[in-house]
A and B are shown apart, each in its own frame.
Chain A
Amino acid sequence: MADDKYDAIIVGAGPAGSACAYTLAKRGKNVLLLERGNAAGSKNVSGGRLYTYALELLEPDMYKRAPLQRKIVREQVMLLNERGSTTIDYFDPAFGEQVPQSYSVVRAELDEWFAGEAESHGATVASGVLVDGLIEESGKIVGIRSGADEMRADIVIAADGVNSLLGQKAGLFPDAAPNSVGLGVKETIDLPDNLISARFGVKDTEGAARVAIGCTDGISGGAFLYTNKGSISIGIVFNLVEAAKQKRQVQDIFQDFKMHPAIQPLIEGGTSVEYGAHLVPELGYNGIPKRLHREGFLVIGDAAKFGINTGLIIRGMDLAIVSGLAAAQAVLETNSPSQTGELYMKQLERLLLTANQRAYQNFHNIFEISRIFSAYPNLANDAMQFLFTVDGKTPKPMLSGLYGAVKRNVTLGQLASDGWKAFRSL
């Protein structure tokens, strides 16, 4: 084999790229995995959760080797208003008993491990390399450019993240539109493990995942909070278009959230060790570009805008891994490069990624109900305040008290139209 020709070049050593490289290398393909950061994971600011089934698809029991943080056994949904909070808390220590359902992860560690797994199967991993172009010959993608260097491959797989430069260079889709991505701001706060466990009511190996609405100044968006080993990942994802129209800076809104009386005690005494911001795919199924391949070229992971956000669950990494696997299987399935793209789309179907995306395809419409981000969380807290107030005065009849809480926040007409919209989206 020539020195500068590979079976596959994968650009981006995140979960999608590494899953793809791992699968191909394991099956004996000569793979080059390129990473722009100084090491895989070094540019990543995400702290989040990984649904373990995806690693299980890649290789049974692989998750046992992975640097995972805490097994999520507590799911919490928080509705915030200015002072108060109403929290729904679902706890099940046996959640996903055979194969645990999800873990919190720190991507800097996970990505480094994942790229190392690919390397141990013979993939060549080169980091600190910026890929800035594609080589195209007679309508096909035949390699990549990095500065003055060129490198060729039978297939180039773009796993270069939400702003995929390569997908654009390949002419598959334009630069991400502002309404197609959310802006996530996130902080990692170091805290002793025993404090984290006590504050979230879990054992030291277990963790909680929390989502919160009502903390975004009315901007479409929500907060998340994950417990790691020795740290907490906390952040907010904002609708980019609405955030841009606001006078207030998103970091100030985020700061208010951290200082909310219901949140501050969770992070009190901690040390902020990392602060970052990143774009995340927002539109779910409807945001996925129509074309994810052309001859000699596939797009996977965030670059393909795979993502699911139901408000309760936020998924990206698992879909990235599944798409990396799909691309690898497509490459392994055929020797005819003109077939690979179609096979990749079929693999996405077969591995149920497309079905998962499609199941939630209208879900995003719910987030167009602006009252979800302020009026309804406020309503919930008003109702709770009524239900739990004991002051010795004659209590109002239950229904009229609750109706009062509703009326203070929304009109019946709004309630009916929002309910109908939500019903249709589900």
Chain B
Amino acid sequence: MPKCLVCYKWTLDEQDIKIKPEDLSLDASRAKGKISDFDRNAIEEAALLVEKNGGAVDALTYGTATVKQSLKDVLSRGPAKVYWIADASAESADAAVTANVLAAAIRKIGPYDLILCGEGSSDLFNQQTAARLSALLGIPCLTFLQKLSVEGAVVSATRKLEDGTEEVSVTAPVVVSVLSEINKPRIPTLKQVLGASKKPNEEIKLADLGLKPEDLVPKATRSSVKGFVMQRKNVIFKESSAADNVAKLKAGLASEGLI
């Protein structure tokens, strides 16, 4: 009967972010928020584990004031309670800061047997939070999970490697990060959506976590973010015969050094 915690990030929906053609800067003014994609898998996996084995699952998030928008959403996906830390520092936080904050919060609200994260966030995809969190908490970490099961205190998992899989097991407590293929996140039903508003949420003030000022200083600072646009050559071959077009295409590819 594991006690689970899912950490999730409230990110901007990348579908709504536009690249400005003049300077490739990003326009997120119309972007709405969403629970980061892999984190949705983590939430689903925790919900499935608890439905199967019993136990309980809570959720934890750290973000700017906008994280409040995520509470009903996350609670409709299974967790019984959500803890949230809303602070402006999240705007520039790197994975080091995020892990510091989450670890401090977990020390306060924990302990948990199983802490689940998504493999990487939809926006920055640093893939560091789970690993850093486990280091800070002094417990093991399993990454790249495509399968997860719990029996008593033993957590077993299948890790997906580049050209193979690895079966591993550890004794809880443990931090894990999951891949999108581990499950298919549910679409909350009407009752789950309505039930979410009756579940508790608790704000944790960053100031109450006893963090030192340097814990909140990002190690990596972002100097710019730019969109990537494929520059196309827009060449159209208009010869009357297909053979001539093919010949021109072949010559064109050859002159680019592609064939």
The segment from A143-151, A157-165, A232-240, A313-321 that touches chain B is A143-151
Contact A149 B32 (CB under 8 A): no
Contact of B189 among A4, A127, A146 (CB under 8 A): A146
Residues in B with CB closer than 8 Å to A127 are: 193
Q: Would you list which residues of chain B between 169 and 205 have a CB under 8 Å from chain A?
A: 187-191, 193-194, 197
Size range of the chain A interface in the assembly: 10 to 19
Are A128 and B197 CB-contacts (below 8 A) given A39-B32, A273-B18? no
Interchain CA distance A126-B197 in the complex, whole Å = 10
Contact of A34 among B21, B32, B190, B197 (CB under 8 A): B190
Contact B18 A148 (CB under 8 A): no
Residues in B with CB closer than 8 Å to A149 are: 189-191
Contact A126 B193 (CB under 8 A): yes
Number of B residues with CB within 8 Å of any CB on chain A: 11
Contact of A128 among B21, B32, B193 (CB under 8 A): B193
Contact of B190 among A39, A146, A271, A273 (CB under 8 A): A146
Contact B193 A129 (CB under 8 A): yes
Contact A128 B18 (CB under 8 A): no
Residue A124 lies at the interface, judged by CB distance under 8 Å to chain B: yes
Contact B194 A126 (CB under 8 A): yes
* A122 → chain B closest CB, angstroms: 12
Instruction: Fill in one digit per residue for A137-157: 1 if any B CB lies within 8 Å of its CB, else 0.
Output: 000000000111101000000
Residues in B with CB closer than 8 Å to A39 are: 32
Contact A128 B187 (CB under 8 A): yes
Residue of B18, B188, B191 with highest tally of chain A CB at under 10 A: B191
Interchain CA distance A32-B32 in the complex, whole Å = 24
Main secondary structure of the interface of B (DSSP, over half): loop
Residues in A with CB closer than 8 Å to B32 are: 39
* B118 → chain A closest CB, angstroms: 19
Contact B18 A126 (CB under 8 A): no
Interchain CA distance A4-B32 in the complex, whole Å = 30
* B258 → chain A closest CB, angstroms: 32
Interchain CA distance A151-B190 in the complex, whole Å = 9
Interchain CA distance A271-B32 in the complex, whole Å = 20
Contact A147 B190 (CB under 8 A): yes
Residues in B with CB closer than 8 Å to A4 are: 191
Interchain CA distance A148-B191 in the complex, whole Å = 9
Residues in B with CB closer than 8 Å to A126 are: 190, 193-194
Instruction: Fill in one digit per residue for A307-341: 1 if any B CB lies within 8 Å of its CB, else 0.
Output: 00000000000000000000000000000000000
Contact A129 B190 (CB under 8 A): yes
Chain A residue nearest in CB terms to B69 = A39
Chain A residue nearest in CB terms to B194 = A126
Interchain CA distance A147-B193 in the complex, whole Å = 13
Contact A148 B193 (CB under 8 A): no
Contact B197 A124 (CB under 8 A): yes
Q: Would you list which residues of chain B between 3 and 59 have a CB under 8 Å from chain A?
A: 18, 21, 32
Are A128 and B191 CB-contacts (below 8 A) given A39-B32, A273-B18? no
* Shortest 8 CB-CB contacts between residues of A and residues of B: A146-B190, A149-B190, A126-B193, A149-B191, A129-B190, A149-B189, A147-B189, A126-B194
Show 22 A/B contacts (Cβ-Cβ < 8 Å), sorted by A: A4-B191, A32-B194, A34-B190, A124-B197, A126-B193, A126-B194, A127-B193, A128-B187, A128-B188, A128-B193, A129-B189, A129-B190, A129-B193, A146-B189, A146-B190, A147-B190, A148-B189, A149-B189, A151-B190, A151-B191, A271-B21, A273-B18
Which residues of A does B touch, CB under 8 Å? 4, 32, 34, 39, 124, 126-129, 146-149, 151, 271, 273
